[in-house]
Each structure stands twice: as C-alpha cells, then as structure tokens.
C-alpha cells in the first residue's frame, strides 16, 4: 500500500487496495445553475490521486504530489503505477480506482495523475456509478475532458486544471488559484485575460475542454449539456488542417447553434513546419464564421500556464474586452 510520505495513515477498505481517512464528508451540496457544486475543501483535508488514462513519469508525479501535500493529505492506491501499453493499467483497474475515490465520503477531491489517453474507455461503465453520489471536485484536463463531460452530463461542477504530473512545472500562481477555487465557497475565480476575436457578450455555464476529445463525444450520451453554454476549447499537437477538421465536425453536428460563446485556450505546438499559415489565423477565421462572441489565447491548456477554471459554473464572456469572468464559485459552503 502506497501513500504520500507527507500524507496520513489510512485504514484499508475492500480488495481494491484503497485507503480512506476516518473523517466523513458533511454538509450539503449547493447549486450553480443546473450544476451541483461540491463542498469546499479546507487545508489538511484528504484528497485522492487516480490514474484514469495514461501512465506517467514518476519524478514529475512525485513533484506534483509534493505540491498537493503542502496543502492537503494525499492518498493513492498501489495500482496507480500499472502500465498496460499506453494505459495506466487495464480498464477495470482504472475504473475501480476512480469509482472508489468518487464514492469515498472521506475523499474531498480527486486529482488525475495524467491525461494521455484512456478516460474515454471508462465512460459507459462510469456513468451509472455516478448516480446518487455526492459531487466532489475532479481536477484535470486534456484526456480528462472525457471525465469532465460525463460529470457535467450528471450535473456536477468540476475543475479543468493541471494534472498532477504538470503541477510542479506551473507557476506558483496556478497552484494558488487552484487552492482558492477549491476552498472559497463565496468567491468566484478571478477573471482571465485573452485576445478579442469576435466582439459580443455571452453568459452561461462553462463547458468543454480539449477539442480532440470533445469531438469524440459527439453522437454519444456523454456529451456535456451545451444549450446556452460558453464552450471552452484547447488542444496540443494538432496541425491547422486537423483543427479545421475537428471544428467543422462541431459545426456539422450543430454545436455552435447551441452554445452562446466561445472561450479558446492555448493551441500548443499546432503549427505546420514551414507552413504559410498558423493555427491562430485558422482559429480566428473559424470563430468569425460562427458569429459567436469569442475570446482566444486564454491561459488554459497545454501551454506554460494552465490556469484552473470551474466547468459548470456560470461565466460572462466579454469578447470585446478579451475577458472571461466567473460569476459563481466552484464550490459551495
């Protein structure tokens, strides 16, 4: 059994090797529009780290754990270091680990160790397990977009933010913002600056995440609620024509007819070597075609700064000013 050295001792439960603290979760769930906000954390609370997608680099994992352990009591199961090809162990292992963390009343938040690929494979079996559970923050991005979508489909607020292996490489302000998000029930997140692309103002719950993952959810029951939403999109390593292709897929599926505005994060390493066009140019053209208020260049995603934001919380997108404002806190009292 493995726990972080800065964490606490936990009592074993069940055959999955999961450990839980003796404290129990109390309080009530508050609502953010149609999305349920999880309860706020306090310093010293127990949080779980899971690997629902790809395997990860051990040194960056340990460095990220140290950041979390400076604020919370960190726990994780022994199977988290499993590797099966490009996955962090088999689907059953990853699903059991995630479901145990989400169902454990002693766990106040769940952090993804890494993205990569694999969360999509869990959705059909995860969705029934969410019924009746008390929401708690789930933190991650990239491939974890699949889990966020399932959580929004179930009516939960969750946190699009750094995975554990990314956390130590981020500026200190990112961890500080994350801790404020998790611990401040009466305080919405601070606004984020971006680049005006299509003027206008839009309000609605923030949904979305990684463009590549989101397009894979079209036609499935796991797409997040889009009607009246502000859609967040970011990606990495996709050439401009592939960004165009995925964006066109969203257009053909009617996504841009359902949402009210577009919040574009970083599109990192998406340039064509030697090309005569860039991803920023393509995104600006595609956004203009939607005629939706749009802000680009938000510090969200795979870039050097990945600011955490609450998915499911209401936001105000002032595209003329290049500003994403948060109207509700991520957590409740």
Catalytic residues: 142, 234, 302
Residues 6+ apart with CB under 8 A from 185: 30, 37, 39, 40, 329, 331, 332, 333
| Half-sphere exposure for 123 (CA within 13 Å, toward CB) | 25
- Structure tokens that stand for 3 in this block: 């726990």
What are the beta bridge partners of residue 159? 139, 310
Nearest to 37, CA basis, from 271, 289, 237, 205: 205
- Structure tokens that stand for 166 in this block: 């990314």
Residues 6+ apart with CB under 8 A from 108: 25, 39, 41, 45, 46, 47, 72, 136, 137
Residue 35: exposure state from Cβ atoms within 10 A (0-12, 13-18, ≥19): buried
Handedness of CA 149, 153, 154, 156 (dihedral sign): positive
Give one DSSP letter per residue of 72-133, joined into a string. Answer: SEEE--GGGG--BTTBSS-HHHHHHHHHHHHH-TT---EEES--SS-GGGGHHHHHHHHTTP
Alpha-carbon dihedral of residues 136, 112, 160, 189, nearest 10 degrees?
A: 60
Residue keyed to tokens 């050295």: 5
CB 206 within 8 A of CB 130: no
- C-alpha 229/C-alpha 33 separation (Å) is 11
- C-alpha 138/C-alpha 310 separation (Å) is 10
- C-alpha 97/C-alpha 321 separation (Å) is 43
């Amino acid at each position: 059994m493995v726990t972080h050295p800065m964490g606490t001792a936990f009592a074993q439960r069940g055959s999955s090797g999961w450990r839980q603290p003796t404290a129990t979760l109390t309080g009530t769930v508050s609502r953010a529009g149609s999305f349920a906000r999880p309860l706020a954390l306090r310093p010293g609370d127990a949080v779980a780290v899971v690997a629902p997608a790809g395997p990860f680099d051990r040194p960056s994992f340990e460095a990220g754990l140290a950041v979390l352990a400076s604020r919370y009591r960190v726990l994780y199961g022994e199977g988290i270091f499993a590797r099966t090809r490009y996955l962090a162990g088999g689907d059953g292992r990853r699903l059991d680990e995630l479901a145990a963390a989400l169902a454990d009343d002693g766990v106040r938040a769940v952090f993804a160790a890494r993205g990569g690929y694999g969360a999509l494979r869990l959705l059909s079996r995860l969705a029934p397990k969410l019924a009746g559970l008390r929401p708690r923050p789930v933190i991650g991005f990239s491939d974890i977009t699949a889990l966020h979508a399932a959580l929004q489909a179930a009516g939960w607020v969750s946190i699009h933010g750094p995975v554990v292996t990314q956390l130590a490489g981020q500026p200190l302000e990112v961890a500080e913002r994350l801790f404020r998000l998790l611990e401040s029930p009466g305080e919405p997140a601070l606004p984020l600056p971006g680049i005006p692309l299509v003027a206008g103002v839009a309000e609605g719950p923030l949904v979305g995440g990684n463009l590549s993952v989101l397009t894979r959810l079209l036609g499935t029951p796991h797409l997040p609620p889009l009607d009246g939403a502000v859609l967040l999109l970011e990606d990495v390593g996709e050439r401009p024509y592939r960004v165009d292709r995925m964006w066109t897929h969203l257009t053909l599926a009617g996504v841009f007819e359902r949402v009210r505005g577009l919040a574009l994060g970083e599109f990192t390493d998406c340039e064509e070597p030697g090309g005569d066009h860039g991803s920023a140019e393509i995104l600006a053209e595609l956004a203009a075609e939607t005629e939706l208020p749009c802000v680009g260049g938000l510090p969200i995603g795979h870039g050097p700064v990945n600011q955490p934001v609450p998915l499911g919380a209401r936001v105000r997108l002032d595209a003329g000013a290049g500003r994403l404002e948060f109207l509700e806190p991520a957590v409740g009292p």
